[in-house]
Amino acid sequence: MEWTCGPVGREEPVTGKKVVLHVDLNNTILVSDAVTGQGTVAALDYFLTTVTWGRRNKQGGWEWLSDSPSLLPPCSDAVSYYSAFDRTLGFTSGAGRRFRGVLDQHLDLLRWPEGVEADDDLSSKGEDGRMYHWILPSFFQLLRDLAQEGLEFAVVFRTFGSDLSRVLRAVSRALKEGAHPLFPELPDLKLDVDLSPGKIRCSKTKIVLSRAADRVSNQDGERAPYDYLSSARGLGGFQDDYDWWASNTYSLRGGKPLWVDPFDQDVQHIFIDDNIRKNDEDTVVHPKVFLAPGSSDTRTASTAELYDFSLVQTDLLRAISDPNYFTQRVHICLENYKSILQQGAV
């Protein structure tokens, strides 16, 4: 793939509102996982198990229902290979060998530019010894595109993993030092990066957001964390509460909290995560929607209600192959959200 980066210019804002992007890390903008120890090859191989579909036949064997990966199942009784068999090592060398070409194609697209010295923060050596982009170029393209459009925005990284500090450092070098070989003009965007990783911890009685000297809790009303996140500037991030998600059987109820105000004309929150699914018993974000203008009361919304409005399920393969992928998804949410504002409710 050839990436081209033109000069940064300011245009009229595409919207008068501010957008706060909550962005997952692993299998969203990173193709690796420090917690499981997966490098680029293994992480992409694993992702394919979550987007390839089949079912068990009457004899108890596995039969494929699709020859190409997709986020959504091809029919109602299809299940992903991951759902049927859990984590599988060497998927495309075994049961999923029919998808080996997809793996190889996207690994080639992830290759660090030839002839460019590898960067300790922005590149990563795969299990095959080759150098890859550690953060997807399409994420940096998103920052560049939104800034060029004149859109006011902030990025809040939201991860269960342990990569947050390194991501903040890497993004800071790209934005402050022009360290990314494909996007040397990023310092012109004048985006600040808060290098202090925060935490979000959940229980039956409260949700607490903390970062450096900041501490905000929904015990002070659901408006408190909403207003805090709505005031975000530049880029920063929080480690979410994996144990709480696990204790809630990996369902919406224990997911990463997202406050959504369908009456707010000024701020829109969008969450981008590969584990967002329309099945509320198997999804990663807990949407808390305000009930009335200025209200502190919220209700839990289903994923399907906010899918492509405030929730984006990352298609990692497209995020690798299409430099405009994240930009396009954000614009779809901006357009769809207009109808919510017009209706005044979700």
Q: What is the pLDDT of residues 16-71, one digit of tens each?
A: 789 999 999 999 999 988 878 899 999 999 999 999 999 998 888 999 999 999 99
Beta-ladder partners of 312: 272
Give the tens place of pLDDT for each residue, 154-175. Answer: 999 999 999 999 999 999 999 9
Q: State the pLDDT at residue 220.
A: 87
Q: Phi first, then psi: give them for residue 283, nearest 5 degrees.
A: -150, 170
Q: Give the residue from 340, 336, 333 showing the smallest Cα distance to 153.
A: 333
Confidence band (pLDDT; 50, 70, 90) for 87?
confident
How much is the average pLDDT of 208-225? 96
CB contact set of 281 (below 8 Å; sequence gap of 6+): 249, 251, 252
> Under a CB-based contact definition with an 8 Å cutoff, are residues 218 and 207 in contact?
yes
Q: State the pLDDT at residue 273.
A: 98
Instruction: Return the domain boundaries, the chain.
Output: 18-30+135-343, 32-132
Q: Kindly report the average pLDDT of the chain as a whole number.
A: 92
> Under a CB-based contact definition with an 8 Å cutoff, are residues 271 and 312 in contact?
yes
Look up the pTM and report it: 0.92
Confidence band (pLDDT; 50, 70, 90) for 342?
low
> Under a CB-based contact definition with an 8 Å cutoff, are residues 163 and 28 in contact?
no
Q: In which element (H, E) is residue 199 found? A: strand 198-202
The better pLDDT of the pair 11, 74 is held by 74
Cα separation, 119 vs 117, whole angstroms: 6
Beta-ladder partners of 199: 210, 239
Q: State the pLDDT at residue 345.
A: 54
Q: State the pLDDT at residue 15.
A: 55
Q: Which two tokens stand for residue 300?
A: 């839990």
Q: State the pLDDT at residue 13.
A: 42
Window from 43-52, 177-186, 262-271, 336-345 with minimum mean pLDDT: 336-345
Q: Which two tokens stand for residue 250?
A: 């990996």
Q: How far is CA 301 from the centre of its chain?
A: 19
The 8-class DSSP code of residue 120 comes to T
Q: How far is CA 144 from CA 136, 175, 250, in A?
A: 13, 10, 34
